[in-house]
Amino acid sequence: MKLINTKPGIPGIRFNHQGEAEVLVWAPEANEVTLSIESSGKKISLEKLEYGYWHSETTEVKPGDSYQFDLGNGKLLPDPASLFQSQGVHGASETVDLNAFQWTDAQWVNPSLPDYIIYEAHIGTFTSEGTLAAMETRLEYLVELGITAIELMPVSQFAGPRNWGYDGVFPYSVQDSYGGPQAMQSFVNACHAKGIAVILDMVYNHMGPEGNIFGQFGPYFTNKYNTPWGEAINFDDAWSDAVRHYFIENALMWFRDFHIDGLRLDAVHAIKDFSPVHLLAEMKMRTEELSKSTGKQHYLIVEMDLNDTRYIKPGSENGYGMDAQWVDEFHHALRVSSGQEKSGYYSDFDPITSLAKSFRDAYVFDGIYSEHRKRTFGVKAEGFPGHQFIVFSQNHDHVGNRMLGERTSQLVSFEMQKLLAGTVIVSPFLPLLFMGEEYSESNPFQYFVSHTDPELAEAVRKGRKSEFAAFHIEGDAPDPVGEETFNNSTLQWNLLEQEPHQTMFRFYKALIKLRKEQPALRSADRSGLEVTVPEGSETIILERNTGGQRILGILNFSKNTEDITLPAGQNWQKLIASSDEEWNGEQTLPEKTDGKLTVAAESFSLFAAL
């Protein structure tokens, strides 16, 4: 038996610079493992190593070959670390030489996080073609808007051509209907040429149900824990070393071989790990090692349903070292402030006061009692810079998890949409936009899948209907398996040629331009922030005083005009006002004021001290 260290090579089939294939697969309970090459009919016996790994170095495998593994029982299985499933989740894997792509981004420098203005997009519905190549043709549009980072919803291979991406079963792959791995490399290269960073949404908390072959290779899952989506991944039980290695190497592959700038890690509260070094902390350490060797900065961003600063504390303070996190509570507080319903988990949030607290404290629940949870929840987030918190007025979850998938454009007025945009973009946090909101897209973004297993498809249909039974007395949820549901969720680019969509797009452009140009807005310093709510009003006055500049934002969420008194002894110059005629408003504010203003209902205005 050949001995190896506890950190073996990269799982799957990889080609070195000499063109030789290096094969590594983990199957600890197999007595023999054979690589079966469909293209040539050749079979290669793998050598058994320590810790359940099987290995070979061979020139018999070429880029583009279809292959599978036989674990000694005559059953052929695709590679858990497959780079390309050109025949779908049930087909053979296909080898890819990741070294073959000719990168032209050697001079690319990943922006610092405070300069990130993030645009979340779903590849399949971003264009009518639904491919990475088609997205490339729209990059100039994102540059015009002012976006500095695009966040792609998951690309790992899933069943069929339609899915949000969170049902992926091959984390190393790129969905075939999106164009596959070479299309991804081309897309990232093109983004970098346009000055746009790329964040990739990855799911490390569960595997999708269809095409999931992991359990046939080894104990990738554990029954110690449960997740809402199925078996928990084995990060701390017997044989977990190899499972951890698999996922950490996956993160490193995206950074190293695809030049991805950051990963957004889905629902990390569902990553169950009681190891002395948490999976995320180890992933961060390995990412830093990679950055030292390449000179390239990479970010790890988490989504979590926990107000727990341990995730974003550096390792030196016994944290996991994540660079930033999504803050759903800002969204929830913003939603109820805009007059939308307070059902479910929104019931915990009060209009205006919860939003003002989120501005001040990042977390609304930071050690206080949650009626919805029936317990005290969260810790304080003092001392953490604003760029560690990502906020939004909508995203894929909070649109698509509504029964009908209505966007904010269908729920609130045009004036309120502008107010929501201003609230997010002038916050002391990192702003994230969901594709289409910048021009008030009217199509919904609904939940869709394309499972090929009829029983699984029917189970998803029934589950979706029952999920909303208590909230909607009339009507049914759209069929998640129906192609029409997917088509109805595609962006309508022709709206940009029409009003009021053109005006909304111009308004977003103007807001983003101000965020980039005004020192007080660009800063991630939360210490220069003051938030006041005039007594008896539904208005928030947000002051950002940093970088030698003083800026006031006036956020009127009421349906009435409000008389506002700005700080005395100071002249103020208008930077933007959503109620101005320029933005299809009905009340143009003065260019300068010494402190007395009447602001329109549902309006956002921004002034700078002269």
- The C-alpha atoms of residue 369 and residue 127 are separated, in whole angstroms, by 44
What would the DSSP string read from start to end of 282-311? HHHHHHHHHHHHH----EEEE--S---GGG
- The C-alpha atoms of residue 418 and residue 427 are separated, in whole angstroms, by 14
| 303: annotated active-site residue | yes
The answer, yes or no, to whether the previous bond of 519 is cis (omega within 30 of 0) is no
- The C-alpha atoms of residue 555 and residue 550 are separated, in whole angstroms, by 17
- Torsions phi, psi of 507, nearest 5? -65, -45
Amino acid type, 399: V
- Torsions phi, psi of 536, nearest 5? 80, 5
- The C-alpha atoms of residue 167 and residue 532 are separated, in whole angstroms, by 44
- The C-alpha atoms of residue 397 and residue 423 are separated, in whole angstroms, by 20
Unique residue bearing structure tokens 């994540």? 322
The one catalytic residue among 266, 273, 361, 562: 266
Half-sphere exposure of 260 (CA within 13 A, CB side): 25
394: closest CA among 113, 117, 119?
119
Q: Which residues contact 536 (CB under 8 A, 6 or more apart)?
A: none
* Residue 195 structure tokens: 């000055």
- The C-alpha atoms of residue 29 and residue 1 are separated, in whole angstroms, by 16
* Residue 273 structure tokens: 């790990």
The one catalytic residue among 201, 303, 323, 329: 303
What angle in degrees, to the nearest 10, is found between the helix axes of 180-193 and 240-258? 50
- Torsions phi, psi of 111, nearest 5? -60, 155
3-state SS class at 563: strand
What DSSP state is assigned to residue 555?
A: E
- The C-alpha atoms of residue 610 and residue 604 are separated, in whole angstroms, by 20
* Residue 19 structure tokens: 């063109």
Q: Which residues contact 78 (CB under 8 A, 6 or more apart)?
A: 68, 69, 85, 89, 91, 92, 93, 170, 213
Amino acid type, 329: E
Residues noted as catalytic: 266, 303
